Amino acid sequence: MCHSLDDIHDFWKNPSKGNQPSRYLKHTKRSKFLYEYVNKYVGKDAKILEPGCNVGRNLNYLYEKGYEQLTGVEINEEAVELLSKQYPNLAEKANIYLETIEERVKQFENDEFDLTFSMAVFEHLHPSSDWVFEEIARITKSFIITIEAEKWSSDRHFPRNYKKLFKQYGFKQIDMNKNCDEIGVKYICRVLQKQ
């Protein structure tokens, strides 16, 4: 049975043991995988958004590679506190919002970000929050990168085809990788460009 939007938010505010924020400090190979795509499509001066940034591992990896205009949105207070402790330089430089993406996304300006990326986060957006994707398209000037499990369905996983989803909002897929072994066998990486 599908959980409600509030159930999904409550879970990520107080996740089970397997999803504790400290667990997300690991897996830097996933951040390296992401970086290869980010670096291919945008320069170091790009404004970048990560909805669901958790402890900031991906953002910190980008920061260490020279990206400085970074923004994250995270629902979990413990994750944001851990980000500040583990990555103090990132925490000082980046804009990190402790909110749900539903609360924050409407507050961003049109085309505010050159790139928005999501790694195993969009798949957890409740179907009642599908309107968020149009907002992501609105605030993204050039590129969206999705690294998501598009077919995995559970009480907290909602399968979507992100190529089709973002096409209706003016984005065209320009790159794809179905072999995301560094991330997990169920994940597909898509790069979408605003037309």
Residues in the chain: 195
Give residue 1's pLDDT.
47
Q: How many angstroms separate the CA atoms of 153 and 54, rounded?
A: 22
CATH tag, 5-194:
3.40.50.150
DSSP string, 25-60: GS-HHHHHHHHHHHHHH--TT-EEEEET-TTSHHHH
Instruction: Assess contact for 141 and 112: CB atoms under 8 A.
Output: yes
Joined together, the tokens standing for residue 48 give 């970048």
For 37-49, write each residue's pLDDT tens digit: 999 999 999 999 9
DSSP code for 157: B
For 2-33, write each residue's pLDDT tens digit: 578 988 898 888 887 778 777 777 778 899 99
Q: How many angstroms separate the CA atoms of 72 and 185, rounded?
A: 26
Give residue 18's pLDDT.
76
CB count in 10 Å sphere of residue 158? 18
